[in-house]
Structure formats: C-alpha cells, structure tokens
Amino acid sequence: MIIIANWKAYVEDSKKAKALFAESKKLASLSALTIVIAPPAPLLSGLALRNRSRVSFAAQDVSATLGGAQTGEVTAAACAAAGASYAIVGHSERRAAGDSNAVVAEKLVHILAHDLTPILCVGERARDNEGLYLSFVREELTSALAPLSAEDRARVIIAYEPIWAIGKTAEQSIEPHDLVEMTLYIRKVLAELLPGKSSTRVPVLYGGSVEPGNIRELAGSTVDGFLIGHASVDKASFTALVRNIA
C-alpha cells in the first residue's frame, strides 16, 4: 500500500512540517506501507535533502516549462534537486487553476525526464446516470498517457480523485462499491494503453475525503493506496489513518 500525504497549502511553517515528518518516519518504520509526503515546494528540500528514512517525498506540481526566464516557476529538475522522488500532476486544484489535459501531458513528460515517479490525478466533477463520468476519466487518462512510450506509461501511478469527494468528510466520500467499479474501469483503460500485463503493475490509488473512519473499508476495495489531503496534516488523524490500514 502507498500512502501519499498531500499537504497542499495547509502546512506553512517548518515547525509543523518537521513534526509531521517525524511522525511519518515513526509510522513508516512500524509498518510495511510506503509513505510519501508532498510538502509545499519551499519546505521540500529542508525535509528531503538529508532524509535517510523510509519516507519519500513528492512535489505537489511541476512547471510546464523547462526553466530559464520563468519567474515563479518550479521545474521538475528543481524538485528532483530538492529531494523529491515523486511528483503529483493533474491534481484537480491545479486543473481548476488552468491546467488543461494538454498541460498535464506536458508536465508528465518533464517529470519522467527527471526520473521522478508521476502521480497522475484523474477524476470527474460529478456523477451522472449515463456513464459520462467514465468517459471523462478515460479522456484524462488517454490524453496524458497516449503520447508516452510504453516504457514510460508503465512508470506512472494513477490517483483517482473524484472532485465531488475532495475536501469533505468520510460520510460524503465515495462508496466502496462505486470505487471498485471505477478502479476496474481504470484498469480496463490502462490495459488498452499498456502492452501485455504491464498495466496490472500500475498502482491505482484513491483520494477524496479519506479519513480514519473510512480508510479501512475503502482499502478493502481494489485500490493500491491513498492520496490523502486534510486528514494528513493533523498528527493524530494521520497516525490513526496509518494505524487503521497498517
């Protein structure tokens, strides 16, 4: 199981960052889970550069540029140099800020070029009775993965994050049977995009109001791990989350 703690912009000082990191190290040493922390970019290197623990680090996003005269941009190269080994791409909060499928595909190329493992977020805005949400997710997956080589497609982690379930509570999160349906569908699309059996090795994670109260029933479905936002930035709830599935 992979647990990605997406700190978003909830963590804004190094004291809190260090305390959460210390707790994650403890949890990682006690369980077989892979724990990955995605801090805000300025806090990344302070935690990641001298890291000798089992915890790994992710960038929350990377620039679509290759660097140079691009004030304010944080490139994949800079994230790798700061100690990240993963990078989130296509998060709905970045898509809402303007990242189209084409931009996501471009960022994915930069992430792979710098040997970071991409965590590609996909997910519909709303559910409907005609199955349009399935074609929406298919389009997000295809537009990002189709331009890549077969080898690179197999390096991507998928995070299914329905937008309607993000930032709510466990009660408003996805139902386990709906998550099973979607992960099976994602696996079907991946099987079309990747050769042979390689798609079966691509981890498919879930994100959207994963809390201590629902992580166990969601883990019983077909997912390989979780991308966790608000519940990952409180020490007690992150500990409870990890303990409940470890």
Q: Which chain residues interact with ligand PGA by CB under 6 A?
A: 6, 161, 166-167, 207-210, 227-231
Q: Provide, rounded to whole angstroms, the least separation between the CB of residue 232 and ligand PGA.
A: 7
Alpha helices (H) in 97-202, listed in sequence order: 101-113, 132-145, 150-153, 176-193
Q: Provide, rounded to whole angstroms, the least separation between the CB of residue 169 and ligand PGA.
A: 9
Describe the crossing of helices 101-113 and 132-145 by its angle, rounded to 10 degrees. Answer: 40
Q: Provide, rounded to whole angstroms, the least separation between the CB of residue 130 and ligand PGA.
A: 26
For residues 124 and 161, which CB has a smaller minimum distance to ligand PGA in the complex? Answer: 161
Type of residue numbered 230: H
Q: How many CB atoms lie within 10 A of CB 175?
A: 12
Annotated active-site residue in 140, 161, 211, 230? 161
Q: Closest CB to ligand PGA belongs to which residue?
A: 229
Annotated active-site residue in 91, 106, 110, 140? 91
Specify the DSSP element, H or E, that contains 157: strand 157-160
| Three-state SS at 148 | coil
Q: How far apart are CA 33 and CA 40, in angstroms?
A: 22
Active site residue 177: no
For residues 133 and 206, which CB has a smaller minimum distance to ligand PGA in the complex? Answer: 206
Residue 93 CB-half CA count within 13 A? 13
Q: Provide, rounded to whole angstroms, the least separation between the CB of residue 236 and ligand PGA.
A: 15
Active site residue 73: no
Nearest by Cα to 233 from 2, 3, 11: 11
Active site residues: 91, 161
